[in-house]
Chains A and B, each alone.
Chain A
Amino acid sequence: MLKQTEGSHAIAESVALCRPEVICAYPITPQTHIVEGLGEMVKAGELQNCEFINVESEFAALSVAIGASAAGARTYTATASQGLLFMAEAVYNAAGLGLPIVMTIGNRAIGAPINIWNDHTDSMSMRDAGWIQLYAETNQEAADLHIQAFRLAEELSMPVMVCVDGFILTHAYERLDIPTQEQVDAYLPPFEPRQVLDPSEPVSIGAMVGPEAFMEVRYLAHHKQMRALELIPQLSAEFRQVFGRDSGGLMRTYRAEDAKTIVVALGSVNGTIKDVIDELRDEGYAIGAATILSFRPFPSEELHELLSHAKRLVVIEKSLAVGIGGIVSHNLRMALSGISLHAYTVVAGLGGRPITKSSLRSLFERALRDELEPLTFLDLNQSAVDRELEREKARRRSGPSAENILRDLAGGAR
């Protein structure tokens, strides 16, 4: 049904339609509305046959999910930012055990300095934990991806993270279509676990594995993700058949056919990028964009194919690999093997800094003239940075730099 609703609420409704059996909840901004919504549905009896468990930490949230999934229940949880880091050990464990848990990440920065706003540092920190990572561009897609995620997770017996930009999507009211229970039931069969804790057929799960088998077990995890490269487009196509719209897939392009300059990004910023591309196209520039939907597994082949005819690549990154630059760019290098082009990394939107149309426009114009540095920090207040560097030079005990910058910007620098 078409409705105007909050992103978090749409995700909650979508998850509920997937008939989850165990949901573990721990509050952290900005994912909280999602589990609140699900909790309400369970409490009101709208979502039946589901245990909603309030836990004492994110570590417990995912640990409860591990137990529930291993015992054969369809299991869901959500987190963000510090919460994802707090459960990091269990994140790796869930993947290592091959448990098909679905978890929403309401993408948010990592402190210090503490910051509740959006960027991708949280989920990027777990990119190699063995989970499939899908990034939603719109709230419609966020809702849809959860339905695909359960199917994907359970077919492969591995966990899936659905990454949704915090606030920008989670708290935005938009028009979207919530599918019917019949549609979801037609798409998502009941969970048939590959491994299950069952007294009638006892197995040991989570045994110690030595050097004689560890490599093989790890390789199989990689192999599963390589299978996901085939499965994700299939599931997206099947989704289209049942629900009548395009959602998901490995990546999608926008006006990229004859583009000499390709902009690559993940998540909601692609909306603003498309608006800018339209303007530049109208002015005759051969520029297009690619949205990476599946960051793990990484669609190297598709990106290689797309970029093989391009002259320029501009990667917009909502995370910073301190000491080297961009994580997405770094991953893209593998796909660029044998392709010669100008590649620009642009770190943007950290800690919720708005990525505006006008900033992107002037950025792309500079890229089109090849005037960009290999690594650019979009809308960085360089003079504020310089003043702090001066303070550090002037005094040994210059104090905490975050607080210094804030004081400086408020006009009260010492």
Chain B
Amino acid sequence: MFQVRIHGRGGQGVVSAAEMLSVAAFLEDKHAQAFPSFGSERMGAPVMAFCRIDSKEIRLREPVMNPDALIIQDPTLLHQVDLFSGVTTEGLILINSTRSFAELGIGDFVEGFHPDLLCTVPATELALKHVGRPLPNAALLGGFAAVCDQVRLESVFAAIREKFSGKVAEGNVAAAREAFEIVMKEREEASHA
């Protein structure tokens, strides 16, 4: 079972991100379970959502406490909330930021992690560019498809199109595609370096 925890702030589409990720996994004939951290938080408050992906029925109903992957939609949470609770050095960390892990001040923390499981994506900028609103969730899922083999980019597109429609859907698809390409390009450059 693969477990994802998504952190962000109310209004950033954190819950939708988990739901879309579960739909993407479902479209690949996997079992998936997405649920929010059940808060009564308002806009701007720290929120969490979870997604489990497995090849068999998921019966477990506890919150995700030991995530295999962490998606951080808002880097301003980094030094405010215990985002990394339960994450091991085997874990994947995807952060919405234009900066590197070192620049974000967590270079020391991620020492010992697999470098290819650490990734930052300028998701807010991509969302502003393609959707016109600072909703980074779709772009981050595009980035997630690039660093993690749990879901394919096409499934992420399909999930986005299930959640949104028309121009909003296509804008989000474009943001996800560009995020995916940015990560793949970085990877390629890193492997040639």
Contacts and interface: CB of A to CB of B under 8 A. Distances in A.
A275 B38 contact: no
Nearest to A139: B33
Contacts of B60: 271-272, 275, 357
B59 A352 contact: no
B62 A117 contact: no
Interface string B98-112: 000000000000000
B61 A175 contact: no
B19 A6 contact: yes
B26 A268 contact: no
Contacts of B36: 167, 171
Interface extent on B, as a size class? 20 to 34
A4 B59 contact: no
A377 interface: no
A354 interface: yes
B179 to A, nearest CB: 22
B174 to A, nearest CB: 23
A116 interface: yes
Interface string B50-61: 000000001111
A356 interface: yes
B18 A173 contact: yes
A300 interface: no
A353 to B, nearest CB: 11
Contact of A356 (B19, B32, B58, B62): B62
B173 interface: no
Nearest to A167: B38
Nearest to A30: B38
A29 B38 CA distance: 10
B61 A4 contact: no
Nearest to A357: B62
A316 to B, nearest CB: 12
Contact of A175 (B32, B59, B62): B32
B40 A272 contact: no
B61 A268 contact: yes
A174 B51 CA distance: 10
Contact of B61 (A3, A6, A173, A269): A269
B31 interface: yes
Interface string A270-292: 11101100000000000000000
Interface string B137-177: 00000000000000000000000000000000000000000
B61 A355 contact: yes
B84 interface: no
Interface of B: 18-19, 22-23, 25-27, 31-36, 38, 40, 58-63, 65
Interface of A: 3-4, 6, 29, 116-118, 167-168, 171-175, 268-272, 274-275, 352, 354-357
21 contacts: A3-B26, A4-B22, A4-B25, A4-B26, A4-B27, A4-B32, A118-B38, A167-B35, A167-B36, A171-B35, A171-B36, A171-B38, A172-B33, A173-B19, A173-B32, A173-B33, A173-B35, A174-B22, A271-B60, A352-B38, A354-B63
